[in-house]
């Protein structure tokens, strides 16, 4: 097949493009900088540029749409341009090009209003209740994708949850680096159960979705390892695997939530901060509430199960850092 992967300069997108190439597919990637994946057709550009999207889309059979603006903070207009407007461009171009399978990568945050999620299936996206601009705009983008679903244009949505592993800079390296600096907190008891997803399992699930979408479509699936762990244990294990000390900073949940709200209110007004805030209300909620999901429907639809367990993933991460 001819397959377009958007957002292939990131770890997940480039890994998906590489896996599809290795299966013998003809892969095109669309992103603002080089994907770094040998043997694929790279188109440089943003999903906000309709002309670049049309160029990349020409002749494609399938699309995996990963491109997104991902951050804990930032101006709302930037998230809207990429996560909503960009998704609208990709969907329109795919329909015009006669694409016959479309996999949209979303996030469990689109259906999380800050409460605990305990063994639940993927709920409907609720952008107005979602926490933060990333979740809100990804929710709108998911609704656009599902709204385009039809028998002639089947769409399947995957929501990978807390992906980690070697090469991941969004979660893994941030936790390891902040632990090394003594700035990685555990909120409350750290006992809230969360499920996570090892990076190669995420890749396998997305590749499986490209096949599954022709028979099951028009729905969203959360993808995890299916092995919930206490959030404190998960953070500590990542830190230790990366050669950092075990986090010792403990913050009560109430003050952390209040501090996160304060950061939300002032962060984007400053020009002298680092790329990501140290804490947000959404992050404090994620670190103090349970969020793990029933994986039966996901595995049934995708005909997939994780090949790398939580323990094996941690061992591999430690080996890479050594």
Q: Which residues pair with 4 in a beta bridge?
A: 28, 63
Helices 87-96, 50-57: inter-axial angle, 10-degree rounding? 40
Tell me the C-alpha distance between 231 and 21, whole Å: 35
In the numeric block, which tokens belong to residue 300? 């049934």
Catalytic entry in 25, 30, 72, 134: 134
What residue ranges in the chain does DSSP mark as E strands? 2-6, 26-31, 41-44, 62-65, 101-105, 117-120, 155-160, 163-164, 185-187, 193-194, 197-198, 220-223, 229-230, 249-251, 291-293
Work out the number of other CB atoms within 10 angstroms of the CB of residue 171. 16
Work out the number of other CB atoms within 10 angstroms of the CB of residue 275. 8
Could you confirm whether 321 is annotated as catalytic?
Answer: no
In the numeric block, which tokens belong to residue 37? 């994946």
Say how far residue 189 (Cα) sits from the centre of its chain: 26
Burial of 284 per CB tally in 10 Å (0-12, 13-18, 19+): buried
- Contact predicate 71/10, CB 8 Å: no
CA atoms within a 13 Å half-sphere pointing along the CA-CB vector of 156: 28
In the numeric block, which tokens belong to residue 143? 């609704």
Q: Which is nearest to 134 in space by CA: 155, 115, 107, 157?
A: 107
Tell me the C-alpha distance between 8 and 213, whole Å: 21
Any idea which residues carry the catalytic annotation? 134
């Amino acid at each position: 097949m001819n397959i377009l992967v958007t957002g292939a300069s990131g770890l997940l997108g480039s890994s998906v493009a590489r896996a599809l190439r290795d299966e013998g597919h003809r892969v095109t990637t669309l992103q603002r900088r080089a994907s770094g994946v040998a043997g694929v057709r790279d188109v440089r550009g943003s999903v906000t540029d309709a002309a670049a999207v049309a160029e990349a889309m020409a002749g494609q059979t399938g699309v995996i749409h990963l491109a997104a603006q991902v951050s804990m903070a930032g101006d709302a207009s930037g998230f809207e341009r990429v996560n909503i407007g960009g998704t609208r461009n990709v969907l329109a171009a795919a329909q015009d090009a006669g694409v016959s399978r479309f996999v949209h990568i979303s996030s469990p945050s689109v259906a999380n209003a800050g409460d605990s999620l305990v063994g639940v299936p993927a709920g409907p996206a609720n952008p107005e209740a979602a926490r933060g601009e990333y979740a809100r705009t990804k929710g709108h983008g998911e609704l656009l994708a599902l709204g385009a679903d039809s028998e002639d244009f089947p769409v399947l949505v995957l929501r990978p949850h807390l992906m980690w592993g070697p090469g991941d800079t969004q979660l893994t390296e941030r936790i390891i680096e902040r632990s090394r600096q003594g700035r990685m907190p555990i909120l409350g008891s750290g006992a809230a159960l969360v499920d996570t997803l090892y990076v190669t399992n995420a890749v396998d699930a997305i590749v499986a979705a490209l096949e599954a979408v022709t028979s099951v479509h028009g729905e969203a699936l959360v993808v995890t390892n299916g092995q919930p762990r206490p959030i404190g244990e998960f953070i500590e294990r990542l830190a230790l695997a990366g050669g950092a000390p075990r986090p010792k900073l403990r913050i009560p949940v109430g003050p952390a939530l209040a501090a996160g709200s304060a950061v939300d209110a002032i962060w984007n007004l400053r020009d002298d901060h680092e790329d990501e805030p140290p804490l947000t209300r959404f992050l404090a909620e994620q670190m103090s509430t349970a969020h793990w999901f029933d994986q039966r429907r996901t595995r049934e639809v995708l005909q997939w199960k994780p090949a790398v367990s939580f323990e094996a993933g941690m061992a591999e991460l430690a080996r890479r850092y050594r």
